Structure 1
Amino acid sequence: MTRAADHPVDPLFVDRWSPRSFTGEAVPETVLKSAFEAARWAPSAQNAQPWRFLVTQRGDAWWDTYLGFLMPRNRLWAAQASALVLILSRRSVERRGEIVENTSHRFDAGAAWANFAHQALLLGWHTHGIGGFDRGSARARLAIPDDFAIEAIIALGRRGDLHELDPEFHSTEAPNGRRPLDEFVFSGTLDVPAFTDGRNAA
């Protein structure tokens, strides 16, 4: 499908989508550093910066281990990615000398991931977030402390041709749409749409 915004936004936000077909080519270190630098500048509550990224690149010592965490169906396509990035978020934060719960750790890590994905796209690389993987195995194998929530694995790569993708996924290898504003932006309570103009009228 062809994506079109209902209201003016930078094309970056419409152009970002999550393909499954990747070329498998090596990702330059400069690309990784730029994407992680963008993540670094994401907003976070009281500047806690709770996100952590564990990265493996195709062919390195951890690649097969990370692939092994994925559910078999996800492994079919993610094996062609250039890098896999495991996102963690720290549940606690030090404030005034005391360790306390960080109630926004997942919200903040999500902001960092969005920055990462958009910067990667600006450099010609695509990302695909993966929720289907064995978090217990990842925690045990990578010795991840309990204070860190395991959020997602991100596949990063250059977009490949359809013939490089397992046929099972061909029918879904296209950008999808989004809900209109009147389905998720409300005025005061969940029963009153915030906007009543144009195609987002109630």
Structure 2
Amino acid sequence: MPLASDIAPRFAQTDAPLIGALVERWSPRAYDRDAVVSPDVVDVLLEAARWAPSANNSQPWRFVVAHRGSSEFTAIHDALMGFNQAWADSAAVLIVNIAETTDAEGRERPWATYDLGQAVAHLSVQAQHEGLHTHQMGGFDGEALKAAFSLGETLKVVSVIALGVPGDVDALPDALREREVAPRQRLTLDELVLRSA
């Protein structure tokens, strides 16, 4: 039984030396259904998110954390769409990432989703450091999640994280298995950076 962690090479082939957690980070879909991530470890990841930078130190991120087997986990999984439902139930934890788009005085927070993204990136890198993997998902019913967790109008569901330990690749549907073992690719810096003459 090939595990997601056995599919090589999963390390990023970087053009510059990066820290290990960034080189080793990737987003599996095959998770070990028996692996458990303790609440204490999840708290460490959330602490990393808590210390992310934000505009005016507004800290506009909020999270719903659900461990496999809980009713909250089921509610999040039920709100996932497409292929995400086919694999995310094997993750140990699902986390809903929420941006608070308006402050207490009703003023818009234009950078809230950007700031949330930084917090989630911190969480993801800390997860990798802890020997865990994350997979970000955008395919979900945001209104269903807002209703399930009684989220107010100022809160916007931006993404959902699957968190856990890589598992059996063969447990995935064929189309997802192919994506799981495909070589990792990125655009070059020359394609990404707009350089001045």
- Decide: shared fold, TM above 0.5: yes
1:162-193 C-alpha deviation (Å, 9 max, x unpaired) = 12323331111146221111112123xxxx47
Shift of 1:155: 0.4
1:20-71 C-alpha deviation (Å, 9 max, x unpaired) = 0000222112210111010011000110000000011100121211110011
Are 2:172 and 1:165 equivalent residues in the alignment?
yes
AA matched with 1:108:
D
Shift of 1:144: 1.0
Aligned to 1:10: 19
Which 4+ residue blocks in structure 1 deviate beyond 2 angstroms?
A: 163-168
Are 2:144 and 1:137 equivalent residues in the alignment?
yes
Matches of residues 181-192 of structure 1 in structure 2 within 5 Å?
181-187=189-195, 192=196
Q: In structure 2, what is the Cα distance between the partners aligned to 1:34 and 1:81?
A: 18
Mean CA deviation greater in 132-141 or 78-87:
132-141
Shift of 1:15: 1.3
Aligned to 1:49: 59
Aligned to 2:131: 124
Structure 1-normalised TM-score?
0.86
Q: In structure 2, what is the Cα distance between the partners aligned to 1:75 and 1:125?
A: 20
AA matched with 1:171:
E
Gaps of 5+ in 2: 1-7
AA matched with 1:157:
G
Are 2:39 and 1:39 equivalent residues in the alignment?
no
AA matched with 2:160:
I
Asked if 2 retains the 8 angstrom alpha-carbon contact of 1:84 and 1:156, the reply is yes
Gaps of 5+ in 1: 194-202
Structure 2-normalised TM-score?
0.88
> SS where residue 79 of structure 1 aligns?
helix
Q: In structure 2, what is the Cα distance between the partners aligned to 1:73 and 1:169?
A: 8
Asked if 1 retains the 8 angstrom alpha-carbon contact of 2:101 and 2:110, the reply is yes
Mean CA deviation greater in 13-22 or 138-147:
138-147
Are 2:96 and 1:86 equivalent residues in the alignment?
yes
